[in-house]
Amino acid sequence: MTTESIFHQTAMMKTSVMEVAKWFLGKQPLTHKKLQKLCYYAQAWHLALLNRSLFTETIQAWIHGPVIPALYAAYADYGWEPIPRPKGKRPKFPDDTLEILETVWNTYKDFDGDQLEALTHDEEPWQNARKGLAFDQPGHNEISIEDMRAFYKRLWQDSQND
């Protein structure tokens, strides 16, 4: 599947990262950094296992790991403080997407934002997007959805062979 067709499918779904963030925040208050990484992993695993994007917003390779600029702007005022649970009902998703979200939550919920940052720093999609930048150099290079799909699909396939 090409990048263009993955984006086309996503545009048809019209899911926003804000809906994904509200779903995670419905579980418990989260720091901004942890929320960013959970949304990143939700997108990555959705690409790998369902072969389509979960949300339409791009993800950039910042110093502290993957960041969705739209999500950053929405919650930047919280700084290092936990973002509270949103009021109202959690967003609804198709069953296959909900299964991915639950799996991401159950896999990564016990990690804090710094631990999730360290995990992403050890993974190819973030590393590839940061090529040519010093470790502490600001950058806004986009993390390729193809890199995410291929890397996490390979992780999943390797786990099935164990």
What confidence score (pLDDT) does residue 12 get?
A: 47
Range of the domain at 78: 3-160
Alpha-carbon distance 108 to 88, whole Å? 24
Short-list 1, 6, 2, 65, CA closest to 35: 65
Specify the pLDDT at position 115: 98
Residue 67, helix vs strand vs coil: strand
pLDDT of residue 4: 44
Looking at the 3D structure of the chain, how many domains does it have?
Answer: 1
pLDDT digits (tens, 9 = 90+) for 45-97: 999 999 999 999 999 999 999 999 999 999 999 999 999 999 988 899 999 99
Residues 96-149: pLDDT tens digits? 999 999 999 999 999 999 999 999 999 999 999 999 999 899 999 999 999 999
What is the model's pTM? Answer: 0.90
Residue 6 confidence (pLDDT): 45
Q: Which residues contact 97 (CB under 8 A, 6 or more apart)?
A: 46, 50, 54
